[in-house]
Amino acid sequence: MRIGLFATCLGDTLFPEVVKSTAVLLARLGHDVVFPPDQTCCGQMHVNTGYQREPVPLVRNFAEQFGDSSIDAVVMPSGSCVGSVRHQHEIVAERYGDAALRAGVATVKAKTYELSELLVDVLGVTRVGAYFPHRVTYHPTCHSLRMLRVGDKPLKLLRAVEDIDLVELPEADSCCGFGGTFAVKNAETSTAMLQDKMRNISGTKADVCSAGDSSCLMHIGGGLSRIRSGTRTLHLAQILGSTRTAPYALMEAAR
Amino acid sequence: MSTFLGMPAAPPRSPFGTGNLRGDRTFPEAAHGELRNDQLRHNLGRATRTIRTKRLNVTGELPDWERLRDAGSAVKTDTMNRLPELLEQLEQKVTERGGTVHWARDGVEANEIVTRLIRATGSSDVIKVKSMATQEIGLNEHLEAAGITPYETDLAELIVQLADDKPSHILVPAIHRNRDEIRQIFLDEIPGVDPDLDNVPAHLAAAARAYLREKFMTARVAVSGANFGIAETGTLAVVESEGNGRMCLTLPDTLITVMGIEKVLPRYQDLEVFLQLLPRSSTGERMNPYTSMWTGVTPGDGPQDFHLILLDNGRTAALADTIGREALNCIRCSACLNVCPVYERAGGHAYGSTYPGPIGAVLTPQLAGMHAAKNDPNSSLPYASSLCGACFDACPVKIDIPSMLVELRHQHTEQSGTTVEKLAMKAAAGVMGKPKLFTAAQKAASLGRVVGGRDGTISRLPAPLSGWSDSRDTAAPPKQSFRSWLASAEGAETMRAAADEGARLTAETPEEDQ
Ligand code: SF4
């Protein structure tokens, strides 16, 4: 399958390892990974902060970059960016776009998937040949859970990882408190939410807390690093990308 | 006469509501204090957790729960689409059955009507059933100023009233209080209470009951709200748990009901849906203990003088917004509060309005507006959410609160003119809309590595990001973006090797192993 990879602005700039793992994983599964070179950002932060005119060029660029019919599916290692493409691009296009943009948005939306959705639903694999001999707990992230309804797809993938010690996260479905600019505008409330999430993570004694969204992980990982909890964060793609021949070298997190 | 110049003027907007629909501080400011209230956080955390579990048990046991939610949503949407005709039908039916209907444009008018009606009875006391609408318009304060004493008869509402406090939860108004505090409030405020009263909940309830019984037996006027008003028959309904409502609705000679206009339902049969949705969503019970329904006046039975006040107070303004009007579908079950992680931490008072929690964050700005002045506290409400979506999942009438929050944020930025944030957003979109600029910006970001400490983390960021860095480390940007790695020789080689391995594996692996 010819798969268009959207790195997301955050992944491309700040978390390139996550995107590398995604690209390598898909190539290793025998797929043709294409990276439209002029891609940038889905505009999620703009829309969620209340700006809908400003991201029009971003929405248009996204539709143009991935609209090509030679691309069978579009994947991104971020549940919230998929949420934006699926639910917000049409709002922006409807309100501030033209007919071409509306059509472009609808076309791309229909073939856009979050990583676990693509693997399990589209490619039909749960066993991706990964090896990760560490204790892992998984935070499902709100957008994946409630906007995309990915359900237990990420857990199915993790359960199939060789030698993994997967432990359940208590109160997994409660929000970590990130919410984009929420963490800045309501930093104290966000921190109160983060503290409860970290307490639950620490209780699992996991080496790694994983999730399908770098933004939530940046928030959780930043908090865990500050309290020197001993648990570090790692994107789902990086665990799935770790193999016996090229295992992920897990550095111990500061305690 | 004015000359038509080609552009029709926008129709006049319906006025916003008055009353307890605006705090005096923004949400983050108010939350700052509330987050430090350990009693509140402890009580809220425990109570919301308990009620969440109860709710999931009783909603999960119904095989048609999702269809009930769809039905509730459909009935409410239909209602809002033809609200004027349904209200007129309700008025006609109530009048036919011996009641009197009054229309109140806003809280001021409603308060005046209630005061006038009470004065006409010659009574200076009224008993009250818990009602959001009368809290919204500040009826108690108004009555007191007019020399009329209102007595709240719901236990938690009584506690709040005696303590001269504000409710913090739609359903559990005194959730922020503990037993010792309640005991003290009773000792201080209930005349003739046993001075040896202890903090055992049953004893506290008994003290309140003894006090209230006397009021029930002597009061001649009651004021209530309504959960539902049926257009087809003119029937009003109140659901409650303690029986105080039943007392208020049946014992006095005069009953005055203040009902928000959005509470109307088309048919009597619609109650079948809502009397299942409401108790299961709100208290996590299959049925609420008391459901009282009355239609006009029944000679020789119950109040002989019945007045229904239909309250607008900003609802028509909300109805005019095609997206925002969905908030009027709310049946005030409080399920969204109980699942909200923001509400659970910050508590109800942080919202500054009669309506707290996720629904408050979308309803309050629509009823009362959010641009009354610069930095209107109501304009901070749509941002008081991480958009986690738990409210949408819990709502019995499927109100898409997260989407409405995003919409209200947009309305706010559209109204706000040029702000620093807007300029930053424009600049960001300007860069990200141009791939070349974006790539250049990424290179600049990777230069930002120098601000990282030796372990590659940044622990202090300047305002407005200091709130973030108060509790989180930030990793310094990496040396290389993904796109420059992919374009590098190393990237190309890695991708080629992965593809080769893929080709080998595909050739080796039997299909069923995939
Ligand atoms: S918005 Fe929905 S969940 Fe919240 S109080 Fe209203 S009906 Fe209940």
Is the separation of the CB atoms in B27 and B377 below 8 Å? yes
Whether residue B452 lies inside any domain: the answer is: yes
B322-349 confidence digits (pLDDT tens): 888 999 999 999 999 999 999 999 999 9
B401 and B288: one domain? no
B444 and B308: one domain? no
B179 and B156: one domain? yes
B335 lines ligand 1 (CB under 6 A): yes
**B497 Cβ partners below 8 Å, 6+ apart?**
none
Which of B385, B464, B502 faces A28 most closely, judged by CB atoms?
B502
B139 and B180: one domain? yes
B142 and B232: one domain? yes
Mean pLDDT of each 10-residue bin along chain A, 255 residues long: 96 95 96 95 94 96 96 97 96 96 97 98 96 98 94 97 98 95 95 96 97 96 93 97 92 73
Which of B345, B388, B442 faces A189 most closely, judged by CB atoms?
B345
Tell me which residue has its CA closest to atom 8 in ligand 1: B333
Taking Cα atoms as reference points, which of B262, B375, B254 lies closest to residue B313? B262
Contacts of B56 in chain A (CB under 8 A): none
**Where does a domain end: B269, B295, B317?**
B317
Determine the distance in angstroms separating the CA of A77 from the nearest CA of chain B, rounded to an integer.
13
Instruction: Give the span between the Cα atoms of A108 and A148, in whole angstroms.
Output: 16
Which of B480, B501, B514 faces A28 most closely, judged by CB atoms?
B501
Instruction: Give the span between the Cα atoms of B158 and B180, in whole angstroms.
Output: 16
Contacts of A31 in chain B (CB under 8 A): 502
Q: Is A54 within 8 Å of B425 when comparing Cβ atoms?
A: yes
Contacts of A188 in chain B (CB under 8 A): 28, 31-32, 35, 467
B454 and B488: one domain? yes
Determine the distance in angstroms separating the CA of A88 from the nearest CA of chain B, rounded to an integer.
9
User: What CATH number does residue B202 fall under?
Assistant: 3.40.50.10420
Three-state DSSP at B101 gives strand
DSSP-assigned states of every residue in B356-367: -HHHHHHHHHHH
Mutate to test the pocket of ligand 1, among B132, B281, B336 (most ligand atoms within 8 A of CB): B336
**Where does a domain end: B282, B317, B352?**
B317
CA–CA distances in Å: residue B35 to residues B39, B247, B379 = 10, 38, 20
Whether residue B446 lies inside any domain: the answer is: yes
B128 and B222: one domain? yes
Instruction: Give B357 Cα–ligand 1 centroid separation in angstroms.
Output: 9
Nearest CA in chain A to B407: A50
- Give the residue numbers spanning the domain of B463: 437-499
User: What CATH number does residue B391 fall under?
Assistant: 1.10.1060.10
What pLDDT, on the 0 to 100 scale, is given for residue B1? 43
B223 lines ligand 1 (CB under 6 A): no
Instruction: Select the residue from A188, A215, A231 to test the B interface by mutation, using most B Cβ atoms within 10 A.
Output: A188
Instruction: Give A232 Cα–ligand 1 centroid separation in angstroms.
Output: 37
Whether residue B27 lies inside any domain: the answer is: no
B87 lines ligand 1 (CB under 6 A): no
Instruction: Give B327 Cα–ligand 1 centroid separation in angstroms.
Output: 9
B359 lines ligand 1 (CB under 6 A): yes
Mutate to test the pocket of ligand 1, among B359, B362, B385, B404 (most ligand atoms within 8 A of CB): B359
A179: its two tokens: 């919410």
B275 and B146: one domain? yes
B447-471 confidence digits (pLDDT tens): 666 666 656 778 887 777 888 888 8
B216 and B296: one domain? yes
Which of A16, A88, A125 faces B485 most closely, judged by CB atoms?
A16
Chains A, B: CB pairs < 8 Å: 216
Residue range B263-291: mean pLDDT, rounded? 97
B295 and B384: one domain? no
Residues of chain A with CATH 3.40.50: 135-240
Determine the distance in angstroms separating the CA of B151 from the nearest CA of chain A, rounded to an integer.
36
Q: Is B390 within 8 Å of A174 when comparing Cβ atoms?
A: yes
ipTM of the complex: 0.95
B364 vs B502, higher pLDDT: B364
Nearest CA in chain A to B486: A20
B96 and B167: one domain? yes
Whether residue B508 lies inside any domain: the answer is: no
Mutate to test the pocket of ligand 1, among B281, B283, B367 (most ligand atoms within 8 A of CB): B281
Nearest CA in chain A to B456: A225
Q: Is B465 within 8 Å of A184 when comparing Cβ atoms?
A: yes
Instruction: Give the span between the Cα atoms of B429 and A42, in whole angstroms.
Output: 10
Contacts of B427 in chain A (CB under 8 A): none
Whether residue B473 lies inside any domain: the answer is: yes
Q: Is the pLDDT of residue B514 over 50?
A: no
B94-121 confidence digits (pLDDT tens): 999 999 999 999 999 999 999 999 999 9
Instruction: Give the span between the Cα atoms of B388 and A179, in whole angstroms.
Output: 7
Is the separation of the CB atoms in A229 and A255 below 8 Å? yes
Mutate to test the pocket of ligand 1, among B69, B395, B405 (most ligand atoms within 8 A of CB): B395
The backbone region for B138, taken as left when phi is positive above 0, alpha when psi lies in -120 to 50, beta otherwise, is: left
Instruction: Give B335 Cα–ligand 1 centroid separation in angstroms.
Output: 6
pTM of the model as a whole: 0.93
Whether residue B266 lies inside any domain: the answer is: yes
B332 lines ligand 1 (CB under 6 A): yes
Instruction: Select the residue from B411, B482, B511 to test the A interface by mutation, using most A Cβ atoms within 10 A.
Output: B482
Which of B411, B471, B486 faces A226 most closely, judged by CB atoms?
B471
Q: Is B502 within 8 Å of A55 when comparing Cβ atoms?
A: no
Residues of chain A with CATH 1.20.1050: 2-122
Q: Percent of chain B, pLDDT > 90? A: 72
Q: Is the pLDDT of residue B510 over 60?
A: no
Residue B268 pLDDT grade (very low, low, confident, very high; cuts 50, 70, 90) = very high
What pLDDT, on the 0 to 100 scale, is given for residue B513? 46
Contacts of B392 in chain A (CB under 8 A): 146
Instruction: Give B133 Cα–ligand 1 centroid separation in angstroms.
Output: 15
Q: Is B514 within 8 Å of A142 when comparing Cβ atoms?
A: no
Instruction: Give the span between the Cα atoms of A242 and A132, in whole angstroms.
Output: 6
Instruction: Give A215 Cα–ligand 1 centroid separation in angstroms.
Output: 29
Tell me which residue has its CA closest to atom 6 in ligand 1: B330
Query: Do the strands A165-167 and A135-138 form a parallel or antiparallel pair, or are they unpaired?
Result: parallel
Domains in chain B, number: 3
B126-177 confidence digits (pLDDT tens): 999 989 999 999 999 999 999 999 999 999 899 999 998 888 787 777 878 8
What is the 3-state secondary structure of B179-219?
HHHHHHHHHHHCCCCCCCCCCCHHHHHHHHHHHHHHHHHHC
B255 lines ligand 1 (CB under 6 A): no
Instruction: Give B326 Cα–ligand 1 centroid separation in angstroms.
Output: 11
Whether residue B330 lies inside any domain: the answer is: yes
Three-state DSSP at B240 gives strand
B140 and B196: one domain? yes
Q: Which amino acid is at B369?
A: G
Instruction: Give the span between the Cα atoms of B43 and B35, in whole angstroms.
Output: 12
Whether residue B93 lies inside any domain: the answer is: yes
Which of A39, A52, A189 faces B35 most closely, judged by CB atoms?
A189
- The CATH code of domain A135-240 reads 3.40.50
Point out the ligand 1 atom lying closest to the alpha carbon of residue B391: 3
Look at domain A2-122 and name its CATH class. mainly alpha
Contacts of A221 in chain B (CB under 8 A): 473, 475
Instruction: Select the residue from B32, B375, B483 to test the A interface by mutation, using most A Cβ atoms within 10 A.
Output: B483
**B504 Cβ partners below 8 Å, 6+ apart?**
none
Angle at B174 between CA B170 and CA B175, to 5 degrees: 80
